[in-house]
Amino acid sequence: MAAVTEEKLSNVDKLCRQSIQKYLDIKGIPYEKQGYYLRLTDHDSLVVDTRITSQKPYETFYWNSQGVGGNLYNFLRSYEGLEKKIALDQLEKLAPELAKAPQHHYQVVEYQPEKWPGSRQNQQMINYFTKTRKLDERLIQVLIKHGLIRQLRNGSAFFSWRDKNMKEIGGDVQGTIVDHKRFGKRGTIKMIAKGSAREFGFRFNANSKNDDTKKLYIFESPIDMLSYFQMHGNQPGAKTFLSLNGAATKVNTVSNYITRFGVPDEIHLALDTDTAGLKGIIRINGRLETLRKEQGWDNMKIIVDQPNSNNKDWNDALKLNDKQYYAESMHDFANRKTKELGVKRIRQIMDEMLAGNMGNSKAITNKVNPQKASFKQHFEDKRKER
């Protein structure tokens, strides 16, 4: 493909960064408004963020169940299933109408912990964790004692994010009342507290007396993290458990954590077994492989930990008391997923990742996606073996 000039690239970026909400309105795609967020009626795991900030100068979307997101171009590729040229032609054709969309400028505010006060009682939260999620009450009580979780006044659970000095810098809100009519397939409210530190998450440490191997475990949600810990927390090593609250969009959370807290001997990618989890593992591994070369992190091992494939996540495994799981290298993980899903589906997933690459027009004009290059190499190695 011929090189793209800066002027052309700028024009493409402008087309790609037009209003997603205005596009939904033009096409009659129904959604539910939740503040600055829009949740699509037909796919409740697809959320549009209409906020315009200095750090995010255009509307974005994230489709959690598919592990894709980005700007309006990415939306047309992922949700509408349009090919590259057709998507760009559509954006150019609709540009005059899309330009009429109001912009929701949003002032980034600092996190204020006093706006998330705990209640005097924790029983509603404890009941949800123990009865619905099957977590051990002793584990919950320890976390309450150390100020890592609390029940909010509305009964929701709050997972407190702490920095190196144990200062609260954000948190996850997890609803404790299941209401599918109000919250869709998910059933409960789930959100990040306003002003929470960027690229951070809920975490805690658990050390083994006889092994000082530094291990960092990465999860998609606090509940998955606690579920894994309850079943497998007795693994040796100086362990840190970190929740991303998502998978595919939180690549920088992992690398920034390592920069802040040091390079571990092992990093365990313990994401879900679904497509979004697979895409998250590919993206995070690609980023870590790049940093390993650039920063000289040669001794850091990357391991994929997953429950049996019939369990979507660690909490599903906990509910079934299914303690069998995989702990494997990226090469072995790629081989296993290729056997499970087939070559055609793996290729489709990697193409989907390129279409919803969370970026700018470089994702359109470049054929190589560095975030999936490492997994692609494992995949190609597997094809040669066959």
Q: Quick check: 375 pLDDT over 70? A: no
pLDDT at 118: 96
Question: Does any domain span residue 1?
Answer: no
Question: Does any domain span residue 346?
Answer: yes
Give the whole-angstrom CA distance, residue 226 versus residue 103: 39
Confidence grade of residue 5 (pLDDT, cut at 50, 70, 90): very low
Residues 190 and 203 reside in one and the same domain: no
> Is 185 or 262 the better-scoring residue by pLDDT?
262
Q: State the chain's mean pLDDT as an integer.
A: 86
pLDDT at 359: 43
| pLDDT, average across residues 37-59 | 86
Question: Does any domain span residue 332?
Answer: yes
Q: Which of 90-99, 102-111, 189-198 has the lowest mean pLDDT?
A: 102-111
Of 58, 89, 105, the domain-final residue:
105
Cβ 270 vs Cβ 219: under 8 Å: yes
Give the whole-angstrom CA distance, residue 118 versus residue 151: 5
**Residue 81 CA from chain centroid, whole number:** 22
Residues 326 and 236 reside in one and the same domain: yes
Give the whole-angstrom CA distance, residue 8 versus residue 370: 23
Q: Of 348, 331, 346, which is closest to residue 382 (Cα–Cα)?
A: 331
pLDDT at 247: 58
| pLDDT, average across residues 167-179 | 92
Residues 221 and 180 reside in one and the same domain: no
The CATH number for 77's domain is 3.90.580.10
Residues 142 and 261 reside in one and the same domain: no
Question: Does any domain span residue 84?
Answer: yes
Query: How much is the pTM?
Result: 0.79
Query: Which residues fall within 8 angstroms of residue 96, CB to CB, at 6 or more apart?
Result: none
Number of structural domains found in the chain: 3
pLDDT at 103: 80
Give the whole-angstrom CA distance, residue 59 versus residue 242: 28
Helix, strand, or coil here: 79? Answer: coil
Provide the token pair at 155: 């009964």
Confidence grade of residue 11 (pLDDT, cut at 50, 70, 90): confident
